[in-house]
């Protein structure tokens, strides 16, 4: 019989004890990897969820952005319209009968000419405010460009010579004559009448 006098930590472990310690180490290793795997899976699922939410937010933003731009455009348009209405109220109160002016203008227009747009415009230069009656019109049903230009000049001369219509205006400017596109020949043109001061 022999007695092992070595300290406990230096004594050789039995093979059974070694196998048990190895199994315990393997089990701990597997447990740690399972925990890490679960955490990794949770993290992947969370990232996927965040990506889906971010994609949805980006899609909603893309859908909302045109609406916001349209809102800004409409707000600006409303502001401009309110300013124009205030401007109209100011000048409708004056002693010009616009209904009579427009009636006279319609009587002066030749058969080959038609109106596209009639509007009032305010222009301020060096603290001086000028008011313009802008008319956008077209001429057609004629064979040549020369005939259409002649009809435009004829119409402009009619306006200038009509003393009843022209009495509240001081100048007439013709500009922006362009050829229209399409099967039928026509020309677009624009002219402006400046209102006399104090009218």
pLDDT(172) > 90: yes
Report residue 8 as tokens.
């406990």
Per-residue model confidence (pLDDT) at position 136: 93
Residue 72, class by beta-carbon neighbours within 10 Å (0-12 exposed, 13-18 middle, 19+ buried)? exposed
Per-residue model confidence (pLDDT) at position 191: 95
> What's the rounded mean pLDDT across residues 177-187?
83
Q: Which of 87, 180, 85, 195 is nearest to 136 (CA)?
A: 180
Per-residue model confidence (pLDDT) at position 170: 87
Per-residue model confidence (pLDDT) at position 128: 79
> What's the rounded mean pLDDT across residues 79-88?
64
pLDDT(16) > 90: no
* Separation of CA 106 from chain center: 36
164 vs 95: which has the higher pLDDT: 164
Q: How confident is the model at residue 69 (pLDDT cuts 50, 70, 90)?
A: confident
Per-residue model confidence (pLDDT) at position 9: 55
Q: How confident is the model at residue 25 (pLDDT cuts 50, 70, 90)?
A: confident
Q: What percent of the chain has pLDDT over 70?
A: 77
Per-residue model confidence (pLDDT) at position 44: 84
Residue 89, class by beta-carbon neighbours within 10 Å (0-12 exposed, 13-18 middle, 19+ buried)? exposed
42 vs 81: which has the higher pLDDT: 42
Q: Where are the domains of the chain?
A: 15-93, 95-195
37 vs 134: which has the higher pLDDT: 134
Got the DSSP string for 36-75? Answer: HHHHHHHHHHHHHHHHHHHHHHHHHHHHHHHHHHHHHHHH
Report residue 138 as tokens.
């077209």
Per-residue model confidence (pLDDT) at position 198: 61
Residue 134 in contact with residue 121, Cβ under 8 Å? Answer: yes
Fold of 95-195: 3.30.980
Got the DSSP string for 1-44? Answer: -----S-GGGSPPPHHHHHHHHHHHHHHHHHHHHHHHHHHHHHH
């Amino acid at each position: 019989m022999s007695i092992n006098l070595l300290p406990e930590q230096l004594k050789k472990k039995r093979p059974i004890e070694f196998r048990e310690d190895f199994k315990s180490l393997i089990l701990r290793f597997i447990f740690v990897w399972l925990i890490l795997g679960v955490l990794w899976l949770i993290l992947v699922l969370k990232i996927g969820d965040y990506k889906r939410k971010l994609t949805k937010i980006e899609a909603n933003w893309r859908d909302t952005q045109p609406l916001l731009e349209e809102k800004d455009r409409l707000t600006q348009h409303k502001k401009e319209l309110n300013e124009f209405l205030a401007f109209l109220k100011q000048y409708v109160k004056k002693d010009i009968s616009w209904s009579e002016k427009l009636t006279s203008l319609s009587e002066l227009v030749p058969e080959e000419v038609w109106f596209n747009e009639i509007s009032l415009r305010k222009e301020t230069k060096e603290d001086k405010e000028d008011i313009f009656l802008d008319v956008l019109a077209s001429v057609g049903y004629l064979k040549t460009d020369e005939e259409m230009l002649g009809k435009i000049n004829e119409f402009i001369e009619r306006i200038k010579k009509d003393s009843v219509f022209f009495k509240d205006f001081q100048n007439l400017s013709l500009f922006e004559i362009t050829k229209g596109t399409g099967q039928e020949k026509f020309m677009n043109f624009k002219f402006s009448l400046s209102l006399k001061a104090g009218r």
